[in-house]
């Protein structure tokens, strides 16, 4: 317990540091003192020592973007941890279960139909739910519930959803819609504004609070069905609730940033290495680690080169070797 | 401890229409401080009976009453207050520490949105001490040996605080020393007033525990109130091989052994 508290303290401090750094750094450097004052000026009356452009960069460009990074990271990683718990399978994630791609199909349809952002979000959620249902249904048809079959079925559904996305791109208007879809699908936080945030913020905050509240329950659901039932848990009902919340979280993240892979797989593993497997500690750790990770990744995405690298691509480059390392570390449990 | 009774009233079960019945019109009862060993060959339905008692599988007819409560008609929570289940082998992939895993036994007393408190962890530590595995407290379950995992699974069932424990093959995967530890634990729990039903392949264990016996014959189960009622003919018919049942002066009890090899598992 002592170890956990100390780890969390350090993680939260690091996270706060990265938050400030993300507002300071960028193409246009703003001193920490000014950033701090600008943030405070929202709550306190303090003398203005900054110029209008600084204020705009911090409040209108960087802050929504950094908040977007936190929300997307938390949504993907918390849903990833929850999926891994309820499926008793630490190889699954929103990407591997097909949820991300399903939500993308929904969102693409929304873009093609010129729906409002809210409409796009609803479509993304429906797409995610359809995808996760298909992924759960396939192993039943095959009559093999092993964890590797679940992962393979997720890959099948992801592939199918990718094919639909390809079809939607093909029929999209190349001058307007296609650009929107392609850019959005690469995974980026560049277009995050306060308006977008207002739509998804409540969903992600409420969903995350729900998973945090249910976090000890995830321990029980990660046992075999019969064990959990013998302990007095209505396994089917609780599992459906958690899958629903996780899918909602993933869909909200996809709406905000497009598909950003690997976060939902890598961060739960990284957090487990820090605080162990008990979901009571794991979920809070996941939140802090994922927020830090995505803020850093987004900082690299916009500051590494003069042209911005889409975040989805960057996360792929960081996530894949990292996951290979995770598999190596845990090799004796496979 | 107060009185406890599990009474099974003419239950029948088959795995589906047209499949043979695993058992038909089965009735028996188990009281506090009873141990019932279910004996029989592989695949005759020992584990099936346990999973019917746990209501993992619904029975086709009949009722199971626990202290007068019909288990088939109450909620999962109500059932979990009455019966605890010790699975055959708790997953070798369980990453939780022993202490955390045993604390899962407190699920019923823990709210949907909370986790076990100090009091439950105190009880957990008491159980660890009683089972003599305090030193394993902070180890991950998946790093334990089979015998240690079995004790941890029993520990979790004990924290559930029921009067009846169902154990599926508690000794099957264990070496002799660990078998002895688990059997001693079962006997210790019996003297504390628990009712225990366990399945085993080995008639010796029933003789050693001097328990009641259910002989699974495929299609039906015969109950014997005392191991001394068992005859060698019955055992040979059940296991379909030659056996020897005799009183041993060395250990002062009846033992059951395989007489000799060379009969190529001759089916009687």
Are A229 and B76 within 8 A, CB to CB?
yes
Tell me, yes or no, whether B120 and B194 share the same domain. Answer: yes
Residues B192 and B263 in one domain: no
Domain that holds residue B265: 231-268
Closest chain A residue to B111, measured at CA? A217
Contacts of A223 in chain B (CB under 8 A): 91, 94, 104
The total of structural domains in chain B comes to 2
Q: Which tokens in the block code for residue A228?
A: 């959990």
- The Cα–Cα gap between A159 and A161 comes to 5
| pLDDT computed for residue A47 by the predictor | 85
Q: Are residues B148 and B81 in the same domain?
A: yes
The reply to whether B166 and B198 lie within a common domain is yes
Residues B120-125 have a mean pLDDT of: 96
The DSSP output letter for A283 is: H
| B61: β partners | B12
pTM: 0.90
Q: Which residues of B touch A278 (CB under 8 A)?
A: 96-97, 100
Cα dist. A44→A38, A40, A41, A53, A61 in Å?
Answer: 10, 6, 5, 20, 21
Which of B77, B115, B116 is the best substitution to test chain A (most A C-beta atoms within 10 A)?
B115
Residue B268 above 80 pLDDT? Answer: no
B90 interaction partners in chain A (CB closer than 8 Å): 227
Does one domain contain both B204 and B267? no
Q: Specify the range with the lowest mean pLDDT, choosing from A109-113, B204-208, B217-221.
A: B217-221
Cβ contacts (< 8 Å) between B85 and chain A: which residues? 226-227, 230
Question: Which residues, in sequence order, are CB contacts of A189 under 8 Å at separation 6+?
Answer: A65, A68, A69, A72, A256, A257, A298, A301, A311
Of these ranges, A110-119, A160-169, B13-22, the one predicted with the greatest mean pLDDT is A160-169
Q: Are residues B22 and B109 in the same domain?
A: yes
Q: Give the nearest partner residue to B77 out of A224, A226, A232, using CB atoms.
A: A232
Q: Which domain holds residue A154?
A: 2-333
What pLDDT, on a 0 to 100 scale, did the predictor assign at position B74? Answer: 93
Q: Which position has the higher pLDDT, B90 or A61? A: A61
Tell me: the pLDDT tens digits for A243-277?
Answer: 999 999 999 999 898 889 899 999 999 999 999 99
Does A57 score more than 80 pLDDT?
yes
**CB spacing of A232 vs B113 below 8 angstroms:** no
The whole-number average pLDDT for the span A86-91 is 86
pLDDT of residue A333: 67
A227–B90 C-beta distance less than 8 A: yes
| CATH number of the domain residue A64 falls in | 1.10.3470.10
B81 chain-A contacts, CB cut-off 8 A? 232
What pLDDT shows up at residue B200? 92
Check CB contact under 8 Å for B142 and A277. no
Q: Residue A80 in contact with residue A272, Cβ under 8 Å? A: no
Which has the minimum average pLDDT: A117-121, B8-12, B165-169?
A117-121
Q: What is the CATH number of the domain that holds B62?
A: 3.40.50.300
Tell whether B171 is within 8 A of chain A (Cβ). Answer: no
Decide: A54 and A38 in contact? Cβ < 8 Å.
yes
Residue B2, pLDDT score:
65
Statement: residue B1 has pLDDT above 60: no
Average pLDDT rounded to a whole number, residues A163-167 = 94
Residue B150 pLDDT exceeds 70:
yes
Across A74-102, average pLDDT: 92
B95 and B47, same structural domain?
yes
State the total domains in chain A.
Answer: 1
pLDDT higher than 60, residue A61: yes
- Dump pLDDT digits (tens) for A23-47: 999 888 899 999 999 999 888 888 8
CA of A227 to nearest chain B CA: how many angstroms apart?
7
Please report the ipTM that was assigned to this predicted complex.
0.90
Q: Position of tokens 């060959």? A: B41
Same domain, B222 and B241: no
Tell me whether residues A232 and B80 touch, CB distance under 8 A: yes
- For residue B229, the distance in angstroms to the closest alpha carbon of chain A comes to 33
Alpha-carbon distance of B261 to B268, in angstroms, equals 15
Same domain (yes/no): B78, B121:
yes
Residues 35-54 of B with CB under 8 A from A: 51, 54
Asked if residue B239 and residue B173 are part of one domain, the reply reads: no
Average pLDDT, rounded, for chain A = 90
> With an 8 Å Cβ cutoff, are B94 and A223 in contact?
yes
Rg of chain A over Cα atoms, rounded to whole angstroms, equals 20
| Whether residue B32 is found in the same domain as residue B106 | yes
**Is B114 found in the same domain as B64?**
yes
């Amino acid at each position: 317990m002592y170890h956990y508290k100390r780890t969390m303290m350090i993680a939260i401090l690091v996270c706060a540091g990265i938050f400030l750094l993300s507002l300071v750094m960028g193409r246009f450097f703003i001193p920490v003192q000014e950033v701090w004052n600008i943030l405070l000026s929202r709550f306190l009356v303090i003398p203005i020592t900054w110029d209008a452009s600084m204020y705009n960069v911090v409040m209108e460009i960087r802050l929504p973007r950094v908040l977007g990074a936190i929300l997307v990271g938390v949504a993907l990683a918390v849903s990833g941890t929850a999926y891994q718990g309820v499926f008793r399978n630490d190889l699954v994630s929103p990407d591997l279960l097909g949820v991300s791609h399903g939500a993308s199909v929904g969102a693409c349809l929304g873009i093609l139909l010129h729906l409002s952002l809210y409409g796009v979000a609803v479509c993304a959620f429906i797409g995610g739910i359809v995808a996760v249902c298909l992924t759960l249904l396939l192993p039943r048809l095959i009559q093999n519930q092993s964890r590797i079959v679940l992962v393979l079925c997720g890959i099948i559904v992801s592939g199918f959803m990718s094919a639909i996305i390809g079809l939607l791109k093909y029929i999209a208007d190349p001058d307007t819609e296609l650009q929107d879809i392609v850019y959005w699908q690469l995974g980026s936080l560049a277009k995050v504004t306060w308006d977008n945030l207002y739509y998804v913020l409540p969903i992600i905050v409420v969903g995350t609070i729900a998973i945090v509240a249910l976090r000890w329950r995830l321990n029980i659901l990660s046992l075999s069905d019969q064990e959990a039932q013998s302990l007095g848990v209505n396994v089917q009902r609780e599992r459906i609730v958690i899958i629903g919340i996780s899918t909602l979280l993933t869909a909200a993240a996809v709406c905000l940033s497009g598909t950003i892979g690997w976060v939902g797989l890598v961060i739960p593993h990284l957090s487990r290495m820090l605080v162990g497997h008990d979901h009571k500690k794991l979920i809070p750790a996941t939140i802090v680690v994922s927020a830090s990770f995505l803020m850093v990744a987004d900082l690299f995405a916009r500051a590494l080169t003069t042209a911005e690298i889409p975040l989805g691509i960057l996360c792929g480059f960081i996530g894949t070797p990292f996951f290979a390392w995770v598999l190596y570390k845990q090799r004796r449990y496979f | 401890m107060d009185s406890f009774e599990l009474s099974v009233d003419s239950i029948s079960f088959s795995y589906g229409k047209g499949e043979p019945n695993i058992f038909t019109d089965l009735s028996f009862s188990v009281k506090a401080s009873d141990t019932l060993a279910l004996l029989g060959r592989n695949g005759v339905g020992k584990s099936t009976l346990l999973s019917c008692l746990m209501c993992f599988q619904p029975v086709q007819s009949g009722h199971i009453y626990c202290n007068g409560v019909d288990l088939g008609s109450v909620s999962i929570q109500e059932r979990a207050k009455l019966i605890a289940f010790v699975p055959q082998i708790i997953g070798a992939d369980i990453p939780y520490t022993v202490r955390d895993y045993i604390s899962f036994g407190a699920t019923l007393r823990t709210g949907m949105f909370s986790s076990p408190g100090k009091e439950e962890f105190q009880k957990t530590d008491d159980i660890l001490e009683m089972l003599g595995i305090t030193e394993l407290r902070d180890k991950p379950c998946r790093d334990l040996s089979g015998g240690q995992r079995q004790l941890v699974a029993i520990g979790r069932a004990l924290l559930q605080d029921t009067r009846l424990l169902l154990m599926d093959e508690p000794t099957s995967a264990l070496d002799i020393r660990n078998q002895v530890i688990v059997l001693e634990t079962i006997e210790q729990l019996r003297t504390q007033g628990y009712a225990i039903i366990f399945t085993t392949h080995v008639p010796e264990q029933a003789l050693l525990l001097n328990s009641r016996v259910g002989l699974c014959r495929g299609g039906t189960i015969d109950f014997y109130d005392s191991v001394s009622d068992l005859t060698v003919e019955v055992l040979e018919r059940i296991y379909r091989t030659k056996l020897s049942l005799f009183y041993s002066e060395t250990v002062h009890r009846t033992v059951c052994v395989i007489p000799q090899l060379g009969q190529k598992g001759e089916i009687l």
